[in-house]
Amino acid sequence: MAKQALFYVFSEVTIQENPLENKACDLAADAWRLGKKVLISCQNEEQALLIDELLWQREPQQFVPHNLSGEVSGFMTPVEICWPGKRNSQRRDLLISLSLQVPEFALLFPQVIEFVPADEQLKALARERYKQYRQLGWQLSTEQA
């Protein structure tokens, strides 16, 4: 079965604060409810802490068990948040990537979710990631965010 990369396209700049990070949290919650183990790969520690905070701010009935890479836990949480230089090596089903480049560990995942921001410079970087996945033989699809 071919590996899959899904790109969520943000067509216009939104007034919503942190639209990519909020979408990543929603997608992680949906995947967790389907029984998947998720890794959210962030650009940096600051973004990882933001994702962590956004997941904690969800309504109690929407709680998603998660942890930051490196946090000591007695068990593997279904959602892990990592950033460059800080990632556990536990097996996961889905990679949600907020990185500006294809993470070197993306090949370890059967499914990756990427984002195409409305900003032109960031959109150009997303196009490069799309090309990289295509060159690797991944099955690609896009969806409006």
Domain map (residue ranges) of the chain = 4-144
Sheet with strand 139-144: strands edge to edge: 66-68, 79-82, 38-41, 94-97, 111-116, 4-9, 139-144
Mean pLDDT for the chain overall:
93
CATH number listed for the domain at residues 4-144? 3.40.50.10110
CA triple 39-141-110, angle to 5 deg:
35
Report the chain's terminal Cα–Cα distance, integer Å: 26
Average pLDDT over residues 116-132: 96
Confidence of residue 144 (pLDDT cuts 50, 70, 90): very high
How far is it, in rounded angstroms, from Cα 16 to Cα 139? 31
pLDDT value for 12:
78
Judge whether 131 and 102 are in contact, CB under 8 Å: no
E strand or H helix at 143, and its extent? strand 139-144
Q: pLDDT of 18-52, one tens digit each? A: 999 999 999 999 999 999 999 999 999 999 999 99
